[in-house]
A = this chain, B = another copy of it.
Amino acid sequence: MMASVTNKTPATPRQAARRQAAVDRRLDTEFFKALADPTRARLLACLVKCGRPCSVTEVAACCDVDFSVVARHLGLLARAGVLEAEKKGRTVWYVARCAALSGRLRALADAIDEWCPSGGQGDRSGDRCGCDKGEC
């Protein structure tokens, strides 16, 4: 995952922004938005610690917000890839996708460490411009 390559120091922020690197792809704001709400964080932690599929009704018992709010949050977390949903009959079973979640976090950490001065910096010659401005 972390190739050993030559260090190439970027000159300016503009030139740095031009480079399309792993860190750009890994900084998925939709993913972070899903984790940026206190209620959702509580629900996610609950499901992670529970370690088994739970219904919306079960999870809602751990929260002071309305049932419909919990249902909406769980659906959002599932769409973000953080939870897995399976409908059986009239109940929906949600389970935390722990491996996928920690995998995404580690992938971003790796992508950042590639640029870290104390870490293994690399040759970015293969990276392409990620800037939306032509002259950048």
A contact residues vs B (CB 8 Å cutoff) = 9-10, 12-17, 19, 21, 23-24, 27, 29, 32-33, 35-38, 41-42, 44-52, 54, 58-59, 61-62, 64, 96, 98-99, 101-103, 105-106, 108-110, 112-113, 115-119, 121, 124, 130-133, 136
Contacts and interface: CB of A to CB of B under 8 A. Distances in A.
- What is the predominant secondary structure among interface residues of chain A facing chain B? helix
A39 B50 CA distance: 35
Nearest to A63: B17
Total copies of the chain: 2
Nearest to A10: B50
Contacts of A51: 9-10, 16, 115, 117, 121
A49 B102 contact: no
Contacts of A106: 105-106, 109
A54 to B, nearest CB: 5
A15 B46 CA distance: 9
Given A44-B27, A49-B19, A109 B102 contact: yes
Contacts of A47: 13, 16
Contacts of A32: 32-33, 35-36, 41
A56 to B, nearest CB: 10
